[in-house]
Amino acid sequence: MKYIPVVLLLILISACLGAPSTEPDPQTLPTSKPRVSFTFDDGITNDILHYRFEDWNKMILDALDKEQVKAIFFVTGSNKLDEKGRYLLSSWNDWGHRIGNHTWSHPNFNAEDNTVAIFERQLLQTNSVISKYSNHIQRFRFPYLKEGNTEEKIAGIRTVMAANGYQNGHVTIDASDWYINQRLIKKIREVGEQAADIDAFRDFYLTHILERANYYESLSMQLNERHIPHTLLLHHNLTSALFLDDLIEKFKSEGWEIVDAPVAYEDEVYRIQPEIVPAGESLIWSMAKASGNYEELLRYPAEDSRYEQPVMDSLGL
């Protein structure tokens, strides 16, 4: 009987123990539940009402940290060169979140005067700022989710992105959190925080986000026949600071799984580029539009304040 020398045996054991795991990330495995990840846009650096910028920014980070979930922060570059801007980027970077590109000054690329050349300049200006951070990611989020209003512009923009190693930071769940945020701040300024009924704003916010999430999940199931890991668009604002904790709990109570945004983007659905003109909106909306089969389920624009204004008016919000 032959024996493996002890030294060789120890080497083999050590190699096995030190080998990288081939087990897939559990967040990427097929699931029977809807899944959602969190992405944030813009990155303002001013105080809001009596909330100091550093405090309300940390409220968002604390909510994510409590859930141990990682987000992607798509930032504009124009206000990130001063002390507050650098602090903002460092805070998200150091808490382990990824930092993506959201242009320099937030132009609408469906506007006639915003050309491919302007797009390239906006992309590269902000890239020069965020590339200094260890957690930067080469994904680009279009302002207003508008990706071009002509075939030529759409093709030109996509060529610029590919040439610079950028992928689309698609949204699959879009909503109007920004509008609720505007109205909340306006109400507090008018009547004060005590009389503004923040709980009513919170309830409306949670109901609205979940309603839109369920709409896009239903449409996605018809298109993809599986639960994709969604990317939810939120904004870096007061409603995120005040309500993100509750939103995460609301998703969980409704049976949704929370996943990391960088992991969500590994799904093959995010490699799809629907061929529609104008381009943009939610990726799911665009896929449905390109198919030609869901016109009765689609509105344009997909999300806008015009849809929430009458309800909020009637509720006194």
Distance separating alpha carbons of residues 94 and 92, to the nearest angstrom? 6
Confidence band for 309, pLDDT divided at 50, 70 and 90? very high
Establish if 67 belongs to a structural domain: yes
Residue 84, Cα to own-chain centre: how many angstroms?
22
pLDDT of the residue at 313: 98
Establish if 237 belongs to a structural domain: yes
Short-list 37, 23, 243, CA closest to 139: 37
DSSP H stretches of helix in the chain: 6-18, 53-67, 83-94, 116-130, 151-163, 177-191, 198-224, 238-253, 261-264, 283-291, 305-315
Its pTM stands at: 0.91
The enclosing H or E element of 137 equals strand 136-140
Q: How far apart are the first and last CA of the chain?
A: 84
Taking only the tens place, the pLDDT of each residue in 264-306 is 999 999 999 999 999 999 999 999 999 999 999 999 999 999 9
Show the domain range for 73: 38-315
Establish if 26 belongs to a structural domain: no
CB within 8 Å of 166: residues ≥ 6 apart: 101, 123, 138, 139, 140
Taking only the tens place, the pLDDT of each residue in 228-260 is 999 999 999 999 999 999 999 999 999 999 999
Taking only the tens place, the pLDDT of each residue in 123-167 is 999 999 999 999 999 999 999 999 999 999 999 999 999 999 999
CATH number at residue 187: 3.20.20.370
Establish if 12 belongs to a structural domain: no
Distance separating alpha carbons of residues 15 and 9, to the nearest angstrom? 10
pLDDT of the residue at 32: 87
Distance separating alpha carbons of residues 168 and 171, to the nearest angstrom? 9
**Block residue for tokens 């689309």:** 168
Establish if 11 belongs to a structural domain: no
For residue 136, give the 3-state DSSP assignment: strand
Establish if 76 belongs to a structural domain: yes
Confidence band for 1, pLDDT divided at 50, 70 and 90? very low
Distance separating alpha carbons of residues 66 and 124, to the nearest angstrom? 34
Residues listed for the chain = 317
Provide the b/e sequence for 199-214 (b: ≥16 CB within 10 Å): eebbebbbebbbebbe
Distance separating alpha carbons of residues 241 and 244, to the nearest angstrom? 6
Establish if 32 belongs to a structural domain: no
Torsion sign over Cα 42, 45, 46, 47: positive
Task: Give the strand pairing for 229-235 and 136-140.
Answer: unpaired
Domain count, the chain: 1
Establish if 218 belongs to a structural domain: yes
